[in-house]
């Protein structure tokens, strides 16, 4: 039986704070609990003056959880937000990254130091391949010599770590600057890695704004030519915050050819226009199905709907990406097709898209 969150919490409830007798779940010190397969991770937020007691509780929790039948790995990080200094001999472990409310009084879109351009990849609807496009575009730009960052801003579940084959967790040695992860020449940070999914879903307003601001300005991106931001679908808080708080140099809207996806894409375009974000263009994904056995082409979701829509609203059609098994297999394997088989015919579209953006001075 897989390890459940409930089993973990019930186990933690058997451990009591020696000072108050209260169990450690009831004290509220357990934060950011994430149970995935047999892996358990969480933060214990403690009063640093009671470091020795808390270290003992942490060890007890580790031992009890590790002894559960289906538990493979336990990672607990102690953190303190009191003003008291933590004992000097501890801790060399990276501090956890926590979303903070946005600082009050910041106004107007800001440029992020060191980042040449910010390009948002958006879609009206989920599942149209926005993350696939973002990952392949980022890799294709890196392969053409650009210094590229990829910010996965999907609060509901990160997909970029998997697509880019990144398994580590971001760390923050000083509890402030966040060290991003890197693969295939792309520096990546995912907002979904900051906390457990169920916490993130509850983020609204200031919390979300703060998390996004941290991602943009507290991540050590290094000098970048372009930062690609993979947005969640729709026109919600993340989109609004990004374009209100940061200079977004352009948005690319990904859609499948069906009317319903197009309808939502139009709403996205309207929102960016209202926020004065230039629309670089639209991309039709899953445009034509190319059979991986015989190469036969067919239009599963219709074809040309995005081209017609782009013309109607006066924005360029940047690419038509085929629906091809290799695109999915490569994404699932952690090496986007633009890197895995850059010369495959179905990968050419990403190379051309990257080249066109570079030539047009957009990336
Ligand atoms: N052109 C394509 N050919 C084959 N498979 C594709 C293509 N584009 C996307 N996919 C697959 O479709 C699925 C959804 O794609 P993806 O996660 O990129 O969508 P999304 O729009 O980012 O979704 P969400 O908004 O839910 O995050 C993935 O399994 C992906 O590998």
pLDDT tens by residue, 257-289: 876 667 888 888 999 999 899 999 999 998 888
Spatial separation of the C-alpha atoms in residues 99 and 7, rounded to whole Å: 26
pLDDT band of 157, cuts 50, 70, 90: low
pLDDT band of 357, cuts 50, 70, 90: very high
Domain with CATH 3.40.50.300 in the chain: 115-359
Nearest CA to ligand 1 atom 6: 328
pLDDT band of 102, cuts 50, 70, 90: low
The whole-number pLDDT of residue 247 equals 95
Q: Is the CB of 292 under 6 A from ligand 1?
A: no
Q: Is the CB of 131 under 6 A from ligand 1?
A: yes
Q: Which two tokens stand for residue 255?
A: 């859609």
Tell whether residue 124 is among the known ligand binding residues. Answer: yes
Quote the DSSP letter at residue 116.
E
Lowest mean pLDDT among 113-117, 252-256, 257-261, 313-317: 257-261
Q: Is the CB of 327 under 6 A from ligand 1?
A: yes
Quickly list DSSP for 69-104.
TT--EEEEEEEE-SSSPPPTT---SPBPP---PPPT
Q: Is the CB of 305 under 6 A from ligand 1?
A: no
Residues 6+ positions from 131 with CB-CB distance below 8 Å:
152, 154, 159, 160, 163, 230, 331
Report the residue among 121, 127, 264, 324 best suited for mutation to probe ligand 1: largest number of ligand atoms under 8 A from its CB. Answer: 127
Task: Please give the mean pLDDT across all residues of the chain.
Answer: 84
CATH, domain 115-359, list 2.40.128.20, 3.20.20.450, 3.40.50.1820, 3.40.50.300: 3.40.50.300
The whole-number pLDDT of residue 261 equals 67
> Is this complex's ipTM strictly greater than 0.85?
yes
Mean pLDDT of 31-60: 82
Q: How many whole angstroms from 136 Cα to the centroid of ligand 1?
A: 11
Domain with CATH 3.30.300.130 in the chain: 5-80
Q: Is the CB of 125 under 6 A from ligand 1?
A: no
Lowest mean pLDDT among 51-60, 73-82, 125-134, 213-222: 73-82
Atom number, ligand 1, closest to the C-alpha of residue 128: 21
Q: Is the CB of 285 under 6 A from ligand 1?
A: yes
Nearest CA to ligand 1 atom 12: 129
Angle value at C-alpha 234, between 233 and 237, nearest 5 degrees: 100
pLDDT band of 203, cuts 50, 70, 90: low
Quote the DSSP letter at residue 362.
-
Nearest CA to ligand 1 atom 9: 129
Lowest mean pLDDT among 116-125, 166-175, 305-314: 166-175
Sheet (strand 39-46) strand order: 30-36, 39-46, 73-80
pLDDT band of 311, cuts 50, 70, 90: very high
Spatial separation of the C-alpha atoms in residues 174 and 66, rounded to whole Å: 28
Residue with the larger pLDDT of the pair 285 and 213: 285
The whole-number pLDDT of residue 263 equals 80
Q: Is the CB of 132 under 6 A from ligand 1?
A: yes
The whole-number pLDDT of residue 207 equals 67
Pick from 271, 204, 262: which is nearest to 235 by CA? 271
The whole-number pLDDT of residue 106 equals 55
Q: What is the pLDDT of residues 316-326, one digit of tens each?
A: 999 999 999 99
Spatial separation of the C-alpha atoms in residues 131 and 307, rounded to whole Å: 21
Spatial separation of the C-alpha atoms in residues 318 and 145, rounded to whole Å: 20
Atom number, ligand 1, closest to the C-alpha of residue 230: 22
Architecture in CATH for domain 5-80: 2-Layer Sandwich (3.30)
Atom number, ligand 1, closest to the C-alpha of residue 331: 31
Q: Is the CB of 157 under 6 A from ligand 1?
A: no
The whole-number pLDDT of residue 62 equals 92
């Amino acid at each position: 039986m897989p390890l459940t969150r409930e089993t973990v919490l019930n186990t933690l409830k058997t451990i009591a704070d020696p000072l108050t007798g209260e169990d450690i779940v009831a004290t509220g010190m357990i934060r950011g609990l994430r149970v995935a397969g047999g892996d358990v991770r969480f933060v214990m937020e403690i009063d640093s003056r009671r470091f020795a007691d808390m270290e003992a509780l942490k060890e007890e929790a580790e031992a009890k959880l590790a002894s559960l039948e289906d538990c493979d790995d336990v990672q607990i990080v102690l953190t303190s937000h009191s003003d008291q200094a933590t004992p000097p001999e501890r801790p060399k472990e990276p501090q956890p990254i926590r979303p903070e409310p946005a600082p009050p009084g910041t106004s107007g879109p800001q440029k992020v130091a060191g980042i040449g351009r910010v390009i948002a990849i958006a879609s009206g609807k989920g599942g149209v391949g926005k993350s696939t496009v973002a990952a392949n575009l980022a890799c294709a730009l890196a392969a053409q010599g650009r210094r590229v960052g990829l910010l996965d801003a999907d609060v509901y579940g990160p997909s970029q770590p998997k697509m880019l084959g990144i398994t580590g967790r971001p760390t923050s040695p000083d509890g402030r600057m966040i060290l991003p992860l890197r693969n295939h020449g792309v520096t990546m940070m995912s907002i979904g890695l900051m906390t457990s999914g169920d916490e993130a879903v509850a983020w609204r307003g200031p919390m979300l704004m703060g998390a996004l601001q941290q991602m943009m300005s507290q991540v050590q991106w290094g000098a970048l030519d372009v930062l690609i931001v993979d947005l969640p679908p729709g026109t919600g808080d993340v989109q609004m915050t990004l374009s209100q708080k940061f200079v977004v140099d352009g948005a690319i809207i990904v859609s499948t050819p069906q009317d319903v996806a197009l309808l939502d894409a139009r709403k996205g375009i309207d929102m960016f226009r209202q926020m004065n974000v230039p629309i670089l263009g639209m991309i039709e994904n899953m445009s034509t199905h190319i059979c991986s056995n015989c190469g036969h082409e067919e239009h599963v979701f219709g074809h040309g709907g995005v081209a017609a829509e782009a013309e109607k609203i006066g924005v360029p059609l940047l690419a038509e990406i085929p629906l091809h098994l290799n695109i999915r297999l490569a994404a699932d394997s952690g090496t986007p097709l633009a890197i895995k088989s850059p010369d495959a015919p179905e990968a050419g579209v990403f190379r051309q898209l990257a080249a066109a953006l570079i030539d047009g001075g957009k990336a």
